[in-house]
Chain A
Amino acid sequence: MNIHTVIAGAGISGIRAAFDLAELGHRVVLLDKAPSSGGILSQLDHQFPDNHCGMCTLLPMIDRDKGPQFCLRKGIFHDHVTFIPSAEIVSVKGPAGQLSVVVEKQHTGIDPLKCMACGSCESVCPVSVPDGFNEGYSTRKAVFLPVPHQIPNHRIIDFSVCTRCGECVKACPVSAINLDGEARKLEFNPVNAVILATGSGQYDPAQSDLYGFGVLPNVVTSKGLERIMSSSGPSKGQLFRPSDNKPIKRMAFLQCVGSRNLMENADHCSSVCCMFAVKEAVMACEKSHDDLTVSIFYMDMRTFGRDFQRYKDQAETSHGLRFIRCRVHSVEPCENTDGMKISYVNDKGMYMEETVDLVVLSTGKKTGLTHPDFYQNEGVFALSDTFDFKDIGESLVAADVAAGKAMALGGPPHTPEQRIFDTQRLSKKAMPLLVLCQCGNNLSNDLDLDLIESHLSAMPGAPQILKLEQACGAAGFESIGTALTSSQANRVVIAACNPFLFDHKIKALARDAQLPDGFFKTLDMRSHVTGKTKNEQTQSLLSQIKSTVNSLNLTLPVYREKRTVTPSALVVGGGPAGLSAAFCLASAGIDVDLLDKESQLGGNGIHFSPGPEKNSLDKLLSSVTNHPKIRVHPATCLTRHQGLAGVFTATITTPNAVEQKIPHGAAIVATGGGQAQTLDYCASQHNGILSVFDLAKGLGDKTLNPLDFSKVVMIQCAGTREEPRNYCSRICCTKALLNAIAIKEANPSASIHIFYRDMMSYGESEKIYTRARQAGILFIPFDLHKKPQVAVNNQTIHVTGFDPVLQEDVQLAPDLLVLSTGIVPTDNQIISKIFHINTTQDGFLKEANSKWRPVDSGREGIFVCGLARAPLGFQEAMDEGISAAMRALRILGRPFLETPQVTARVRHSLCSRCQACIPECPYQARYLDEENGKIMVDSVSCQGCGACASLCPNSSIMMGQFEEKGIMDSIEFFLNEACP
């Protein structure tokens, strides 16, 4: 099979890039040096803001039958993605498009093709070592499941601790264990591209002598706490302190461990730790029913994501989290107890000491990692800032950008699978074939298959039975195929194990037999081996088989809509995000209509002063305006947008007031934002008071001269990060720092004071903050209740503030006062109505899910990016544009969209048009067709979740394959079985 892309690193970014490309029809090999997929997220159960997981939302939504809709934390299953665990790329050679990629796959001791995951090996293994999955808070054997919930659930052997005693070899009933194997080399050739998504890993705090990590058992890392609280963790979700399993009453988070530390060569912010700590603190409070005091010791709470500030505020008010602005010096053990003493200086400048039960170290990213030597090869794409910590949503955007580069090297034209169905066979009465796997006779002690066979033969509509020694091998599937050819069976139930593992093989069977995939059902026999008597277990399996056969007999072929896709895109907004989206789409061969209400493209970028950002934007502008696939509509407004994913129509009004209709398959909304205005701090009362953006512009275009300023004061978060505009605009702090540095460099004698609440120099911008301090700029933090005061008297600006470090008032009379007023979106009220998409309470366009679907609007086929969605930097906005384009290509890259197997349909005769279902659909797949007066389902957007069906008061909703009759029959069936 031809492989188009090899992706190293199966963390969240690698998975996203793999799905991006797989959905475009590419074949992807995804590998990870770890023995399981998921990266750090395999260890994290909950993500803010909703404190759920939700990783499954990342599963392909268009053509979702290409993989089972299955928990992504357990494994990756997609027809076009091959996952290889315990493997690393060792070399990449050749030109892009024709790379030869050599992968080394570690010998893990157990042959996955033979192993049936019975666990006998583990039960006899005499070795016991700390379990890395639980960060050492539990133990494991040398032969173990690296992630307990992983599928396939084959164990592996950790040869670094294995004693080679051979007990496991003896215990294995299928001779799947080989202690002497060696690593294998696999070569993929030719490969279009390689994506590196290998991530960073966390700083090891044991290398510091300050915190007692590794010495004091109750000092843990943030990831350690995550495991301690996890339901798959050492105490099954109870929050106990490690030393003695006693409940925790006082907990302290120490931020920036291994970050923001020049002595550790870590002049960076790890970006995610602040919110990680707040989330964990909330979870800990919830687990302890708020019988817990949590203190977070921080320097700056970096709540720089659009909705993070409110999350933090909410955590503070509803759980009483204590936020203490002081870096803790060290952790000292208490005498005679397992507690620990920490000291700090409070906001009154007083020295304080307290005792806590648990210290959580917010460990930053690991430093000193280097790219492999093939990193510079043509056709090798590393995720931007490969070694950075990123929020999940940002990781996905970075993955989309890398996938976009891999895609640009070419791939297969999208050739949808043409399925032929044996209509004659399908039209006949349901005739089931039941495959019973004996699992190499390994189930004979637990399940009586003969009894099942005889029972079933007596059942009305008895299935044809095929007993196989082992269904999962090639021979097994061949026998099933033969049985299907030689019989008239038109429904198949396979009773074996690991239903998700064999999804693609079962699909192949369905294809060959010309039957719908949905007419094949697999059930897991091993789930009935529960330690009860053989007879009870057999009865339990028998009931499931009978009910499955019964419901399958009632399943009818699904009507599948085939929607021809209009192969062009509409991009609204010609700023950095819109331009990069348009260019990405056009490069992929899609026609683009790019609208901007202004006569000049470039958005906020038109104010850029000469420099790398301007160069980058100019290049993009010229690529877009000269691209034959892009039609630019300047000074044009969008007035109407109708239709469904793949078949939208936009109505636009041209400058000379002519209406025009533009059909398109997907739309990208990038209508941008601009600087906010404020009335605070005497903003408009003196011409020496400017906004941070105006100062940047003035310094850039030289209308302002740094030599004119001898005393400068900057105030951050002016009118923002407090209600009603309670969000961080993300870029003002860095802009202010750069402005200040520019003034100080040109005019070293100028004094510059920056009043700030939390310096949001996240990621590598921390270096700019360090540079600013070294340049002699003075920083004074303030709280909302002690804001600096500004007065303008006799043409003089007076700023009075309070320096909490010195506990003194500060009086300044600057000749320049700069306010960071933040960013607000433009036009979103109108745009959201036109597109029927949602906004946040601050008026930004709301994505479907900030973590897992960061640029999808709630409606399939419509994507949101750039400042219209959230405050962002220039590069971030351009990346989001590409991300949105990649999402649109899932639709635009295929000739038609087809209804998946399980979707909702409306029985119009029962529907009362109450419309209750419309707002409840999480995918905005339901709408009122006003012309026909009917509630409709967009069968492409519908994900078959059934939310509508469960709330419809008239039972007018039918879920393909979960139709009421089948479900009710199954229930009735079980009731009859249980109470005959």
Chain B
Amino acid sequence: MNEPTDTIKSHAPLRPSGIKPETCMACGTCSAGCPITGMEGFDPRKIVRMVLENRDQELIDSKLPWLCTMCGKCEHACPMGINIINIIRDIRGQVDRDKVPGQIHKGVELCLETGNNIGLPGEDFTFIIGDVAEEMAEEEGFEDFVPPIDKKGASLLHTLHNKLVNTQNEDLVHWWKIFHAAKEDFTMTSENWEGVNWGLFSGDDEAMKIIVGRIVDHMDTLRIEHLMYPE
């Protein structure tokens, strides 16, 4: 019997240092620094240990991988450079999509379908942008502001967090004001404007790739050099 090769420890992507998870010496640095160690049994060191013991299914079936905030504090201090976050993502990616908790997989599906995580139709998007811009233009100093959309040759692509066109559009105004004051030549896009890639959190590499691909396409088509993610 040889070591199985389809385990998390063998296929979770490594950090740039290229160090295998087996290098873990269970020193406890990750657990000592993790903001949620002890919460509902979460402990990054335990997860790595279970991965080393090939207890993949147990992890896939458990709630543990979904407790992690993926803040990366564990990895930052890990003396062995273990790929803890990638391990967590890898586990999440193996969970049946209908068991992914909360909204994130739904968001991914919506994004693939509609170009944004909340399924906002194009006309609604255009309306909201116009409405918010009108409001902003009422303020002194911004009278001439027109929100740029699909502008070819702009310098900066401004992708949007869906909440900016949903519940927190005052934040959208902050961004625009900054760009306006800085005379930044930016643009938004009318389609596929979502800047939040929930595939990162749900461990869905395929979806992540498609969503990232859309942004790459925008930059190619509109010949834009710089990119801004809103988070």
- Interface of A with B (CB < 8 Å)? 210, 256, 260-264, 299, 325-330, 342-345, 349-351, 710, 748-749, 769-770, 773-776, 778-779, 781, 803, 805-806
Looking at A262, A769, A779, which has the most chain B CB atoms within 10 Å of its CB?
Answer: A262
Beyond A749-B2, A749-B3, A773-B23, whether A328 also contacts B80 by CB under 8 A is no
Q: Given A778-B52, A805-B46 in contact, is the A329-B73 Cβ separation under 8 Å?
A: yes
B27–A345 CB distance below 8 A: no
- Return the CB mask of B1-36 against A: 1 if under 8 Å, else 0: 111000000000000010110111111111111100
| Chain A to chain B: the 8 pairs with minimum beta-carbon distance, closest first | A329-B33, A326-B28, A327-B27, A351-B38, A261-B79, A329-B32, A351-B37, A345-B31
Q: Does B49 contact A (CB under 8 A)?
A: yes
Interface residues, chain B, with chain A CB atoms under 8 Å away: 1-3, 17, 19-20, 22-34, 37-38, 43, 45-46, 49-50, 52-53, 73-74, 77-81
Min CB distance B74 to A, Å, is 8
Contacts of B30 in A (CB 8 A): 329
A-chain residues with CB within 8 Å of residue B73 when the two chains form the complex: 329
Q: Are A344 and B23 in contact (CB under 8 A)?
A: no
- How many Å from the CB of B81 to the closest CB on chain A? 5
Write out the residue numbers on chain A whose beta carbons fall within 8 Å of the beta carbon of B46: 349, 805-806
Determine if A262 and B79 form an interchain contact, defined as CB atoms under 8 angstroms apart. yes
B32 x A326 contact (CB < 8 A): yes
CB <8 Å contact, A774 and B20: yes
B43/A774 in contact, CB under 8 A: no
A345-B32, A749-B2 given; A776·B22 CB < 8 A: yes
21 contacts between A and B (CB under 8 A): A261-B80, A262-B19, A263-B78, A263-B80, A264-B79, A325-B28, A329-B29, A329-B30, A343-B33, A344-B32, A345-B43, A345-B45, A350-B38, A351-B32, A351-B37, A749-B2, A769-B25, A805-B26, A806-B46, A806-B49, A806-B50
Q: State A803–B2 Cα separation when bound (angstroms).
A: 24
Residues of B within 8 A of A710 (CB): 1
Alpha-carbon distance A773/B81, docked complex (angstroms)? 14
Contacts of B26 in A (CB 8 A): 779, 781, 805
Q: A262-B19, A262-B81, A805-B46 are in contact. Are A773 and B28 (CB under 8 A)?
A: no
Q: Are A344 and B17 in contact (CB under 8 A)?
A: no
Complex alpha-carbon distance, A262 and B2, angstroms? 28
Q: In angstroms, how far is the closest chain A Cβ from the Cβ of B42?
A: 10
Q: How far is the CA of A769 from the CA of B80 in the complex (A)?
A: 13
- Given A345-B43, A350-B38, A773-B22, are A262 and B32 neighbors across the interface (CB < 8 Å)? no
Q: Please indicate the chain A residues that have their CB under 8 angstroms from the CB of B52 in the complex.
A: 776, 778
Bound state CA distance, A358 and B31, in angstroms?
22
A776 in contact with B78 (CB, 8 Å)? no
Q: Is the CB of B29 within 8 A of A328?
A: yes
Give the residues in chain A near B33, CB-CB below 8 Å: 329-330, 343
Nearest B residue (CB) for A769:
B25
| Residue in B3, B22, B26, B74 with the greatest tally of chain A CB atoms within 10 Å | B26
Q: A210-B77, A350-B38 are in contact. List 6 more A-B contacts (CB 8 A).
A: A256-B79, A299-B25, A330-B33, A774-B23, A776-B3, A803-B49
Q: B23 — which chain A residues lie within 8 A by C-beta? A: 262, 770, 773-774
Residues of A with C-beta under 8 A to B2: 748-749
Question: Are A262 and B29 neighbours in the complex by a CB distance under 8 Å?
Answer: no
Report the Cα distance A775→B45, complex, angstroms.
19
Within the assembled complex, what's the spacing in Å between the Cα atoms of A199 and B97?
A: 58
Instruction: Among B2, B27, B38, find the residue whose CB has the most chain A CB atoms closer than 10 A.
Output: B27
Name the one of B32, B53, B79 contacting A263, with C-beta atoms under 8 angstroms: B79
Distance from A134 Cβ to chain B, minimum over Cβ atoms (Å): 30
Bound-state CA distance A299–B20 (Å) is: 20
CA distance A326 to B20 in the complex (A): 21
Q: Is the interface of B mostly helix, strand, loop or mixed?
A: loop
CA distance A263 to B196 in the complex (A): 31
Residues A749 and B1 in contact, CB atoms below 8 Å apart? yes
Distance of B87 from chain A, by nearest CB (Å): 15
For residue A344, which residues in chain B have a CB less than 8 angstroms away from its CB? 28, 32
Q: Point out the residue from A263, A264, A327 that lies within 8 Å of B28, measured CB to CB.
A: A327
Q: What is the minimal beta-carbon distance from B96 to any residue of chain A, in angstroms? A: 25
* Complex Cα spacing A773 to B27, Å: 13
B22 contacts A774, C-beta separation under 8 Å: yes
Residues of A within 8 A of B20 (CB): 774
CB-CB < 8 A to A779: which residues of B? 25-26
From A299, A351, A778, B31 is in contact (CB under 8 Å) with A351
Q: Contacts A262-B17, A806-B49: A773 and B25 contacting too (C-beta < 8 A)? A: yes
Roughly how many angstroms separate A770 CA and B22 CA in the complex, as a whole number?
9
- A residues near B17, Cβ cutoff 8 Å: 262-263
Q: Kindly state the separation between the CA atoms of A620 and B50 in the bound complex, as whole angstroms.
A: 49
Q: Which residue of A lies closest to B29 (CB)?
A: A327
B5 to chain A, nearest CB (A): 11
Nearest CB of chain B from residue A52's CB, rounded to whole Å: 34
**Who on chain A is nearest to B20 by CB?**
A774
Beta-carbon nearest neighbor of B73 in chain A? A329
In the complex, A771 Cα to B134 Cα: how many Å?
64
Of all chain A residues, which has the CB nearest B33?
A329
How far does the alpha carbon of A806 sit from the alpha carbon of B47 in the complex, in Å?
Answer: 9
| CB-CB under 8 A for A326 and B27, given A262-B79, A263-B79, A264-B79 | yes
Contact B32 A328 (CB under 8 A): yes
* Given A262-B23, A345-B37, A351-B31; A327-B49 close (CB under 8 Å): no
Q: How far is the CA of A776 from the CA of B20 in the complex (A)?
A: 10
Choose among B24, B31, B38, B49 the residue with the greatest number of A CB atoms under 10 Å from its CB. Answer: B31
Docked CA distance A350–B46 (Å): 12
Residues on the B chain within 8 Å of A330, using CB: 33, 77
With both chains docked as a complex, state the minimum distance between the C-beta of A912 and any C-beta of chain B, in angstroms: 63
Closest Cβ of chain B to A805, distance in Å, is 5
Give, as a whole number of angstroms, the nearest-CB distance from B143 to chain A: 46
Instruction: Tell me, in angstroms, the Cα distance from A57 to B76 when the chains sit together.
Output: 47
A68 to chain B, nearest CB (A): 48
Q: Could you say which residues of chain B place their CB within 8 Å of the CB of A776? A: 3, 22, 52
Distance (whole angstroms) from the CB of A344 to the closest CB of chain B: 5
Closest to B2 in A: A749
List, in ascending order, chain A residues with CB within 8 A of B74's CB.
329
**What's the minimum C-beta distance from B32 to chain A, rounded to whole angstroms?**
4
- The distance from the CB of B166 to the nearest CB of chain A, in whole angstroms, is 36
- Chain A's closest residue to B80 (CB) is A262
Q: CA–CA, A774 to B80, complex, Å?
A: 11
A770 and B33 alpha carbons, distance in the complex (Å): 23
Query: A769–B23 Cα gap in the complex (Å)?
Result: 9
Is A263 a contact of B81 with CB atoms below 8 Å? yes
Closest to A771 in B: B23
With both beta carbons as reference points, the residue of chain B lying nearest to A255 in the complex is identified as B27
Per the bound structure, the CA–CA distance linking A75 and B169 in Å amounts to: 75
CA distance A428 to B53 in the complex (A): 91
A262 proximity list for chain B (CB < 8 A): 17, 19, 23, 79-81
Structural contact, B22 and A299, CB atoms closer than 8 A: no
Nearest neighbor of A350 in chain B, beta-carbon distance: B38
Give Cα A258 to B45, complex, Å: 21
**Docked complex Cα distance between A598 and B94 (Å):** 64
Q: Given the complex, which residues of A lie within 8 Å of B80, measured CB to CB?
A: 261-263
Cα distance A261–B79 when bound, in Å? 5
Q: For the complex, give the distance between the alpha carbons of A690 and B23 in Å.
A: 27
Which residues on B sit within 8 Å (CB–CB) of A778?
52-53
CB distance from A860 to the nearest CB of B (A): 46
Q: Which residues of B contact A781 (CB under 8 A)?
A: 26
Which residues on the B side are within 8 Å of A803 (C-beta)?
A: 49
Give the docked Cα–Cα distance between A749 and B26 (Å). Answer: 22
Rounded to whole angstroms, the CA-CA distance of A749 and B54 in the bound complex is 13
Task: Give Cα A805 to B37, complex, Å.
Answer: 13
CB neighbours of B53 from chain A (8 A): 778
Could you tell me the distance in whole angstroms from the C-beta of B47 to the nearest C-beta in chain A?
Answer: 10
CA distance A769 to B43 in the complex (A): 24
Given A330-B33, A773-B23, is A748 in contact with B3 using a C-beta cutoff of 8 Å? yes
- Complex formed: what's the CA distance from A343 to B74 in Å? 13
| A749 / chain B contacts, CB cutoff of 8 Å | 1-3
B36 to chain A, nearest CB (A): 9
